[in-house]
Amino acid sequence: DAGITQSPRHKVTETGTPVTLRCHQTENHRYMYWYRQDPGHGLRLIHYSYGVKDTDKGEVSDGYSVSRSKTEDFLLTLESATSSQTSVYFCAIRQGATEAFFGQGTRLTVV
């Protein structure tokens, strides 16, 4: 499993509520990423981190924020969930210009 876990694995939430997804790694990898996966769109980068407290936006960052206060944890927050954010969310870790390892994914449904 490359030492990466996501929580929760499944979540149903109501429109307008805040939601936080957690990614935890035990590999001490520098880079961490949040992707969303939707049919026909592949894997799109939401936000990424290149170190503690160092984060930046990806391709589809609107409506999302992230935080990384420790090397091992990368949090993705939907401040006010919308139906368009219904998706499968994957966290990934990487040490450098090498293979990325993915978490198991979180299936989020916004009703």
Partner 1 sequence: GENVEQHPSTLSVQEGDSAVIKCTYSDSASNYFPWYKQELGKRPQLIIDIRSNVGEKKDQRIAVTLNKTAKHFSLHITETQPEDSAVYFCAASTTPNYGGSQGNLIFGKGTKLSVKP
100 binds partner 1 (CB under 8 A): yes
Residue placing its CB nearer to partner 1 in the complex, 43 or 75: 43
Structure tokens at 47: 């936000």
Piece of 12-20, 21-29, 66-74, 86-94 that binds partner 1 (CB under 8 A): 86-94
| Helices and strands of the chain, counted as H and E runs | 0, 11
Nearest approach, Cβ of residue 42 and partner 1 (Å):
4
Judged by CB under 8 A, the chain residues 19 through 58 that form the site for partner 1 are 31, 33, 35, 40-45, 48, 50, 56, 58
Long-range contacts of 37-46 (CB under 8 A, 24+ apart): 37/87, 37/88, 37/89, 37/90, 37/105, 38/87, 38/88, 43/90, 46/76, 46/89
Residue placing its CB nearer to partner 1 in the complex, 26 or 50: 50
